Chain A
Amino acid sequence: MTHGTATRTRTQRLRSIWHSDFVYSFRHAPVAVASATVVLLMVLAAVFAPLIAPFDPFNPATLNLMNGFTPPMEPNAFTGESFWLGTDDQGRDVFSTILYGMRISLFVGFSAVMLALVLGVVLGLLAGYLGGWTETIIMRVADVQLTFPAILVAMLIFGIAKGITPPEYRDQMAIWVLILAIGLSDWVQFARVVRGATLVEKNKEYVQAARLIGRAPLAIMLRHILPNVLNPVLVIATISLALAIIAEATLSFLGVGAPPTQPSLGTLIRIGQGFLFSGEWWILLFPAATLLTLALSVNLLGDWLRDALNPRLR
C-alpha cells in the first residue's frame, strides 16, 4: 500500500484532486463557476485598476469640468469626448471611478474580514482550549456584541474612532477606521464556530494523547485543532466578505465611511443619489449595479461553498 502511494505521479495526484467530491461538485454547479469567475474578474480589475482605467479620476490635471454630465456612449456637447459609462458632475469618467471605487470596497472588505478572522479564530481557540475565565470573558463579550446588529456596532466604532482622531487626519484615516470598525463588528461568528469545534476536538483521543506526551498547547492548537475548523471558517469568511462589502457601502453611503477624496462604491452611490431626480441616472446606476454584482457573486459563492463543505445541509 505504502509503496503504491509513494510512486503516485504528479498527474495522478492532480487527477485525484480533479475528481474529488469538492471539485466535482464545483464543476457541476454552473452558478458556482459563474460567480467564482465574476468575483475573480472583479478582483483582478480592482487590483489592476490603474492599468485598466482610461482616466485617473483623482488627478485634477486630467479632469475637464466641461465634460461634466456626459451621458454614456454619447459625445459630450462641448468637448466632443465620449465615455463608455458617461461622466459625473465633475467630468470624471464613471467607468474609471467605479474601478477605483471597487478597489477601495474590496480592499476594505478583504482587510476587515482578515481582521475579523484572525481575531475570531485566535479568541475562539483560546476560549475553547483554555476554558475557565478566559472563555467566560471572551464569550460574554461576544454575547453582548451579538445582541446588537453588526452595522450598528461598526457605526459606533466608527463614531468613536472619529471622535478620537484629530479632525485634520480624519479623511486620511477614514479607510483604516472603516476596516477596524467592520472587522471588530464581525469577529464573533468566527470565534463561536472555532470555539465550538475546539471543544469537540479537545476531547478527542489524539488531542488527549498529544497533551499527555507533553506537546505545548500552542502546538496542539495549531497542528491538531486548527485544521479541523478550516472548512467552517472558510465558509464564514466568504459570507462575511459579502457582508463586509455591503457594510462598507452602507457606511459610506450614509456618509460615515470612505470620504469623497477616496470614494468607494458606496460613496459613489451617495454622490449619484443626488442626481436621481435630475435625470443623470448613469452616475447612480453603474456603481449600484457593480456593487450588486459583486455582493451577489460573493454571496452565491458562499452559499454554494456552505452546501459543498457541509453535506448535511444539502
Chain B
Amino acid sequence: MLAYVIRRVFQSAIVLLIVGLVAFAMFRFVGDPVDNMLGQERTQADIERLRDRLGLDLPFPVQYWRFLQEAAQGNFGLSYRQGRPVSDILIERAPATLELAAVSGVLALFVGIGLGVFTAIRRRGTAANLIMTVSLIGVSLPTFLIGILLIYLFSVELGWLPSFGRGEVVDLGGWTTGFLTISGLKALILPSITLGLYQMTLIMRLVRTEMLEVLRQDYIRFARARGLRERSVNFRHALKNTLVPVITITGLQLGSIIAFAIITETVFQWPGVGLLFINAIQFVDIPVMAAYLMLISVMFVGINLIVDLLYFAIDPRLRVDRTGGGGK
C-alpha cells in the first residue's frame, strides 16, 4: 500500500509539473510580458531592468525552475490589469468561492446520491421516471440559464432573494464569511443551487447507473435468495458497492465545482476567484490566468489523491494488495 501511495504522490507531482509548464509557457510566450508590465512611458533602461529581473535572458529550463520556485511560494507577479500582486487578489477572493463551492458540493453530494439510489431502486416507478426526465432537462440546461431562471423567478418576480453579490459579510481575520449574517445566507441560496444542480444531476445519474449495475451482480441475487429484506439488500449490500466506483467520479465532480463556479459567479456577480478568472481572460491578464490555473490544479490533484486513498478505506480488497483484486 505504501508503494502505491508513493506512486500516486509521484504521479500527482508530475501532473503539477506539466500544468506548471503550461502556466509558465502562457506567461512567457503569450504576448510579451515586458510589454504588458510596463506602461506607455518606458525607457530602454526600464525594459532592460525588467528583463533582467524576470530573468528573460536565462536558458528556458532555468526560467522554468525559477517560475516554479516563485509559484511554490505563492508569488505569481503583478496582475497586468490591476497592478497588484496576484497572490493578494486571490487570497482576498478565495473565501467567496470556497464558501459557495462547499455549500453546492454538500448539496450536490447528498441530494445526488439520495435521488440516484431512489431512481435505481424504483427503476420502473412513475416518480423515478419523472426524476430521470427532469434530470435530462437539467443536464441540457446550461448552468448560466439555470441561474438566470432562478434570478427571474426569485429576484425579479417574487423579490425574495438577492440577484447578485454576497450580501453582508463578516471579516474573520482575513477570511470574509457570508455564513454569519442573514443577508449573507440569503445571498448564498440561489448561487449554490445554480452551481450544485448540474453536479447533482450528474452524480444522481452516475449513482443510478452504477447501482443498477451492482443490483445485477450475483451477490445481490444471492442476498435476495437468502431472504434478506429489500432494505438490507439495497442499502447494506448494493449501496456500499455502488459507492466504490462512484467515489472517484464524484470526487472529480466536486473538484470541478470550483471550475464551474466561474459561470455561477459571472451570472450572480459573485466576487470570487472565478469572476476574477473570466475577467482575466477577457483582458488577457496572463499572470492571473496562470495563477488561477496553478491554484485550481493543486486543488484538483489534491482531491484526486484523497479520493484514491479513500478507496483503501472502503474496499477491503485493496488493503491487501493492488494486483490481486479480481472483479470490479
Residues of A within 8 A of B (CB): 143-144, 147-149, 151-152, 155-156, 158-160, 162-164, 242, 246, 249-250, 253-256, 269, 273, 276-277, 281, 284, 288, 291-292, 295-296, 298-300, 303, 313
Contact = CB atoms under 8 A, between A and B. Distances in A.
Q: Is the interface of B mostly helix, strand, loop or mixed?
A: helix
B104 interface: no
A211 to B, nearest CB: 30
Nearest to A159: B281
B128 interface: no
B145 A296 contact: no
Contacts of A277: 156, 163
B143 interface: yes
Max chain A C-beta neighbours (<10 A), residue from B142, B152, B263: B142
B207 interface: no
Contacts of B140: 242, 246, 292, 295-296, 298-299
B56 to A, nearest CB: 17
A160 B15 CA distance: 20
5 nearest A-B pairs in the assembled complex, by CB-CB distance: A163-B30, A296-B140, A159-B281, A149-B256, A295-B140
Given A269-B148, A295-B140, A254 B259 contact: no
B262 A246 contact: no
Interface stretch (B109-117, B282-290, B316-324): B282-290
A292 B148 CA distance: 13
Contacts of B47: none
B300 A148 contact: yes
A144 B297 CA distance: 10
Nearest to A161: B30
Contacts of B152: 276, 281
Max chain A C-beta neighbours (<10 A), residue from B15, B140, B151, B266: B140
Given A144-B18, A292-B141, A151 B260 contact: yes
A209 B140 CA distance: 46
Interface string B13-54: 001001100000010001100000000000000000000000
Nearest to B289: A159
A152 B297 CA distance: 11
Contacts of A303: 136
Contacts of A284: 148
8 contacts: A143-B15, A144-B15, A144-B18, A162-B281, A164-B30, A164-B31, A253-B144, A255-B282
Contact of A156 (B15, B163, B289): B289
Interface of B: 15, 18-19, 26, 30-31, 136-137, 139-145, 148, 151-152, 156, 163, 209, 252, 256, 259-260, 262-263, 266-267, 277-278, 280-282, 284, 286, 289, 293, 296-297, 300-301, 304
Contacts of B144: 249-250, 253-254, 269
Contact of A296 (B26, B136, B143, B209): B136
Contacts of A256: 278, 281-282
Given A292-B140, A295-B140, A254 B148 contact: no
A45 to B, nearest CB: 19
B273 to A, nearest CB: 12
Nearest to B275: A254
Contacts of A292: 137, 140-141, 145
Max chain B C-beta neighbours (<10 A), residue from A149, A155, A291: A149
Contact of B263 (A144, A156, A250): A250
A281 B157 CA distance: 12
Given A163-B26, A292-B140, 15 more contacts: A144-B19, A149-B256, A151-B262, A152-B256, A155-B278, A163-B30, A163-B286, A250-B263, A254-B263, A269-B144, A292-B145, A295-B140, A295-B142, A296-B141, A299-B136
A276 B151 contact: yes
A251 B140 CA distance: 15
Contacts of A249: 142, 144
Nearest to A253: B144
Contact of B137 (A155, A246, A254, A296): A296
Contacts of A281: 152
